[in-house]
Amino acid sequence: MNEKHQKNEDLMEKIVSLCKRRGFVYPSSEIYGGFAGVYDFGPMGVELENNLKTQWWKWMVHKRQDIVGLDSSIFMSPQIWEASGHTKGFSDPMAECKECNTRIRVDKVLLDLGVEADEKMSEDEINMLFDENKKNIKCPNCKKQNFSKVKKFNLLVKSNLGDFTESNSTPSYLRGETCQGIYVNFKNVMDSVHMKLPFGIAQIGKAFRNEISPRQFLFRGREFEQMEMQYFTKPEDEMSEYEKLREYRWKAILSLGFKEENLRWKKHENLVFYAKEAYDVEYKYPWGFDEMEGVHARGNYDLTQHSIGSKKDLVYQNEETNEKIIPHIIESSGGVGRLFFAILCDAYTEDEMGGEKRVYLKLKSSIAPIKAAVFPLLKNKPELVKKAKEVFDMLNEEIQPILFDDNGNIGKRYRRQDEIGTPYCITIDFDTLGENPEHLNTVTVRDRDTGEQERIAISELIQKIKA
Ligand code: GAP
């Protein structure tokens, strides 16, 4: 293993371990031995996750007069998945290594060799392509070249909802993407809140996919959350709105504090037949650049399919010309988990402080799980604890969440907050109480990134933390 590869593996391990140690992410069902492809977010994780979702909502709904929100259900009529093409398509071609049972995504492996496998290819066709290129394909795990035949696996997760015969003859599905709930509510939203083209509908919610090989921590799971916005345009405006949306998403992503050099655009070479253009925003994960989110120009495919499937006219009537059109759609689609993982990779920093190695998360205050921590210098001095609680209460009225910690020595408390990315630690000491009258009602505020401390008046704390 070369040095760079080793370093990247180490970073992955360090982040996964920090996530567990500090309450960001736990493997699901851990006490029962785990459950592949599913994760639980702990007390710090849920704060960070909510902050990322709030920021997304702010950019994609609240800052925009032309976009509204939606929260559609996870279960929907199975006809929706027929009409959208998910019951037939939406599958990954997989082969299994007969030596070590590692599964590979055949289309991805072929693409690495410069060979494109069209997603409409039948199983026979893709097997032929795989056979032609087999001599150049090794198992990523055991490096042997002994593969099973390629099989296409549908990614939709079936359920027995409403099936009381247990025959599962008409399965319902857990949604495979949130945007279908938007398409089928297009008319409801248009009619009820009177949106005029161009306009968008945004939603955040869970999606489920029967991924054959969930991997790379939160990157590819079986249960995950999506943040999607579908923007409905006149046909002639689709591509100009698409360019605007790409620019807007780039700005919104950078506003989270990412290092720009760790992000890039990647154009899709292999488009689905109805798509006009598609780009991914890729983040430099520990294994290299990979998809974080996408912006796609989808033509009028989605509303056309649901018009046919539902036999309802999903059209927009121009009130001036009376012309009826099927709007075209551009979408912004991202996974909360992929963004969460990327922001952790970006923020993870190691340095030396006071002769010791330390780890900290350089998170922007707006997304940090805890905005500030309040410490009494000593836990066995009631007067310090009382004053610290007063400061905590005052701050917590205005800024949430604030954390109170009186456990262990101050150095250890700093390290704990550094590891969860808390921008400020506030210590109440004897000077606060007037031991040095000049410092009465002042506290020390330690900056996470520099470790420097300054003494400021309690009355200035809110302004300092909010800045
Ligand atoms: N509506 C379009 C759509 O769902 P996609 O490229 O399949 O497109 C969009 O998914 C985003 O959802 C991806 O960019 C990724 O961030 C996230 N995503 C997809 N599959 C995922 C999985 N198995 N685990 C975690 N996130 C996933």
CA–centroid distance, residue 226 to ligand 1 (Å): 7
CA–centroid distance, residue 335 to ligand 1 (Å): 6
CA–centroid distance, residue 91 to ligand 1 (Å): 13
Dihedral over alpha carbons 409, 462, 432, 368 (to 10 degrees): 10
Task: With cut-offs at 50, 70 and 90, classify the pLDDT of residue 116.
Answer: confident
Classify 152 as helix, strand or coil: strand
* Cβ atoms within 10 Å, residue 442: 21
Dihedral over alpha carbons 38, 42, 47, 49 (to 10 degrees): -10
**Six-digit token string for 335:** 């996974």
Question: Which range has the worst mean pLDDT, 235-239, 318-322, 364-368, 439-443?
Answer: 318-322
* Cβ atoms within 10 Å, residue 27: 16
Task: With cut-offs at 50, 70 and 90, classify the pLDDT of residue 1.
Answer: low
Q: Find residue 200's DSSP bridge partners.
A: 67, 231
Nearest atom of ligand 1 to the alpha carbon of 214: 23
Nearest atom of ligand 1 to the alpha carbon of 291: 14
d(CA 115, CA 118): 10
CA-to-CA dists, residue 266 to 115, 246, 270, 289, angstroms? 18, 12, 12, 10
Give the pLDDT score at 8. Answer: 74
pTM of the full predicted structure? 0.93
pLDDT at 5 over 60: yes
d(CA 78, CA 86): 10
pLDDT at 60 over 60: yes
pLDDT in tens, 407-428: 999 999 999 999 999 999 999 9
Give the pLDDT score at 166. Answer: 64
CA–centroid distance, residue 267 to ligand 1 (Å): 16
Tokens 């800052």 found at: 63
405 and 425 in contact (C-beta within 8 Å)?
Answer: no
Cα 182 → chain centroid: 19
Nearest atom of ligand 1 to the alpha carbon of 176: 4
What residues are in contact with ligand 1 under a 6 Å CB criterion? Answer: 177, 179, 209, 211, 220-221, 224, 226, 228, 291-294, 331, 333-335, 337-338
d(CA 87, CA 81): 6
Mean pLDDT for the chain overall: 94
Question: Which range has the worst mean pLDDT, 7-16, 384-393, 406-415?
Answer: 7-16
Task: With cut-offs at 50, 70 and 90, classify the pLDDT of residue 172.
Answer: very high
CA–centroid distance, residue 215 to ligand 1 (Å): 14
Q: Which of 211, 223, 226, 341 to mutate to test the pocket of ligand 1 (most atoms within 8 A of CB)?
A: 226
